[in-house]
Structure 1
């Protein structure tokens, strides 16, 4: 019998087709798996230890999946809980699950998989030679590791299998590879290893591998030779092109995918359309290797205040870059004079929205927009300093003239006050792998029985 995995969506809070989910439950899956996040949105979630998604939306969608799990009678697994998988986010997701268990009257065995790492643990591994940098990676030391707000290790299939072996109805996992929560059960049942990892990679983002990416729901059948993938929303289809193309998604190599304990090689994979909606893939290979896990860490890199002004005068719109250049030099001199700050201790970053806000100096498209938004991002060692610089810059962002002799201009602020304190700015500060002698060496499990 194949191992059947139901994936409701590429990530919890992205939404899914309810009718398709019902069809998936009726098809008797062996496990329901969904991702809880990733590093796609940047380092804030990991640095702050918070989900970027609304709690109300998380609870609403998780309620539907808990009901689906109860109907199917199979485990429900979420990986990278709370966007980043930090231990605090696992607990946050656990609290939501407890609330829903009480509201739904469900008796549950819940297992939490924690992937958080202390600076001391990683420092010891560094000194023991068990930490290796990926490319690119910053230099790390005991000092830099101690500055991390959160460090997580990416769990693989073995850690999810350990959680499944607790007999859990629901598994709330910290940071995992996107594929691990899907590949774990097929691997545990002895299905083809290459197919398990490849099918998991294809299905990790739900229906993104289909012709209707927003429909969410995907079913994957794994067996001893390959895998078959099918989208369950009406009108959605998988094609050999859409399935094979997913190896390009968030992956530097279209044929190789590294995971804890080895890598997937799809160089010889064959894709066949079984019918109008299903695709079967065979020939994928799993190549065992050293058991290493990726580490991610984030730390505070300063505090930010932003100001936004809008230029509409044609003279200023066409000379926006020159205006910003002159204003920046003026503000740096004024900050030095009035606040006594060394320019090396803070940063003024102007973004011209409508001109080059995305690519900056690399922008090669030209044109004259009706208006240009000028976003000033101030980064400083403390929020107090960033806020003070923002208040100093405020009147000049509103009235600074392009030339000395011209009439004093007035620009638009879209809101008042113009300055917004953003709080801590976080940066990724780890891109390394850590060698483990035992897959559970860097992880821990907590299992709780919950009754209504």
Structure 2
């Protein structure tokens, strides 16, 4: 039996080729699967329980996918809903779905798979020795985590599909789980399924036209075939095999709940100028563990931005920042009675080393330099107070004692911006489960216009 999986895009909210989606629906897929996010953008979404993507963009694209699902008559599945897959973002995605069901006149069975973990469950597993670190893992401190999620695998998605759901909205999942679930349940080759799911996780990123989004993957008893559906897009053995390197430290192994994929023996063959056939991958069963992700508030931030255009200062920006930093730390200690260990003060030179800092190895002569000051403190009020204290000096501080006071440019007023809480990742561990569903829960709702 062949299982045909339509993947419209690497993530909901970034767009896809509508004509390619329609072409995919016409090819009679067995399921439509899309990812809703990841940890790529940092810990904020997980810490705050918010989606990084626009609700308007999400709703617009989800409308197209709900219409495609209705036309194809197959399940529609989204994993890691709302970027981070917390309970709040699953419910956010559910609200959008219900809203669209009313607008489109669709009667639906919607399954919500929740991945968020209560602190007590994780603490109990830790005490029982069922949690192990993934290097580099921070020391576990559970008392101040704002959100903890476990990454669901194929088994949890299969349980959601078994409810007869038209739409599955899943919390945090592995990137491959939604794609792998149906073909695994239908008996397709496990090695080929997990490998094909890895290749398809980011949509057309495995093709020569990565922004087109839409691809189709056919799974069977010996492997898989992948084809991009946008005009002009092609999959090649190189573009497909290269995707094993994407977000993966080992190009031959990919760990999932219950084992790992081994592609050492994989063979890639071009069937024509668009399609690639892959066989020879294997699945190695192992203990059933799920990865845990958690985030906590690490402080509160205020930023300030100034622009140096004077040639003397632009060419000596680092020396100016070094001198300014020492002066400001002394001022903060004197005026606010704060030790440097109580707060953070960092300046990044946009146009010089803003991305890489001391690792920057390119040199040049910029016309202007943006000086981004980042204050991190224990409370927002404290960070804002430090921002106001340093404001006049960021605007006027001289490079040397014998110079007249310079005046730089603030691009907006007020020059400081309160950013709110700063989150940090606080878990990078796996938790062993005897029952794959023991750390997850399902809710099924019937929606009628």
Both structures adopt the same fold (TM-score exceeding 0.5): yes
Shift of 1:405: 1.2
Q: Distance in 1 between matches of 2:271 and 2:402?
A: 74
Q: Distance in 2 between matches of 1:115 and 1:238?
A: 34
Shift of 1:364: 1.0
1:17 match: 17
Please give the per-residue CA displacement for 1:126-164, whole angstroms capped at 9, x wherever unaligned: 000000000100111xxx212111000000000000000
1:108 match: 108
Shift of 1:343: 1.2
Q: What 5-or-longer segments of structure 2 have no aligned partner?
A: none
1:174 match: 171
| DSSP 3-state at the match of 1:145 | coil
2:355 match: 358
Please give the per-residue CA displacement for 1:282-312, whole angstroms capped at 9, x wherever unaligned: 0000000000000000000000000000011
Shift of 1:32: 0.1
Shift of 1:407: 1.1
Please give the per-residue CA displacement for 1:172-209, whole angstroms capped at 9, x wherever unaligned: 00000000000000000000000000000000000000
Q: Distance in 2 between matches of 1:79 and 1:368?
A: 46
Which of 276, 285, 302 pairs up with 2:282? 285
2:4 match: 4
Q: Which residues of 2 match residues 414-425 of structure 1 at below 5 A? A: 414-425=411-422
2:41 match: 41
Shift of 1:368: 1.2
Shift of 1:388: 0.2
| DSSP 3-state at the match of 1:447 | strand
1:451 match: 448
| DSSP 3-state at the match of 2:145 | coil
2:242 match: 245
1:434 match: 431
Q: Distance in 1 between matches of 2:100 and 2:393?
A: 52
| DSSP 3-state at the match of 2:434 | coil
Shift of 1:25: 0.3
2:314 match: 317
Q: Distance in 2 between matches of 1:337 and 1:13?
A: 48
| DSSP 3-state at the match of 1:202 | helix
Measured on the aligned residues, the alpha-carbon RMSD in Å equals 0.5
Which of 230, 241, 244 pairs up with 1:233? 230
The yes-or-no answer on 1:147 pairing with 2:144 is yes
Shift of 1:91: 0.3
Shift of 1:27: 0.3
2:185 match: 188
Q: What 5-or-longer segments of structure 1 have no aligned partner?
A: none
The yes-or-no answer on 1:306 pairing with 2:298 is no
| DSSP 3-state at the match of 1:448 | strand
Shift of 1:266: 0.2
Shift of 1:375: 0.3
Which of 216, 221, 240 pairs up with 2:218? 221
Shift of 1:118: 1.0
Shift of 1:77: 0.1
Q: Distance in 1 between matches of 2:368 and 2:118?
A: 49
| DSSP 3-state at the match of 1:337 | helix
Structure 1 outlier segments of 4+, above 3 Å: none
Which of 366, 369, 372 pairs up with 2:366? 369
Q: Distance in 2 between matches of 1:377 and 1:368?
A: 24
2:91 match: 91
Q: Distance in 2 between matches of 1:179 and 1:383?
A: 39
| DSSP 3-state at the match of 1:409 | coil
Q: Distance in 2 between matches of 1:386 and 1:318?
A: 30
Count of aligned positions? 449
The yes-or-no answer on 1:379 pairing with 2:352 is no
Please give the per-residue CA displacement for 1:363-405, whole angstroms capped at 9, x wherever unaligned: 1111111011000000000000000000001000000001111
| DSSP 3-state at the match of 2:142 | helix
Q: Distance in 1 between matches of 2:351 and 2:246?
A: 28
| DSSP 3-state at the match of 1:74 | coil
| DSSP 3-state at the match of 1:146 | coil
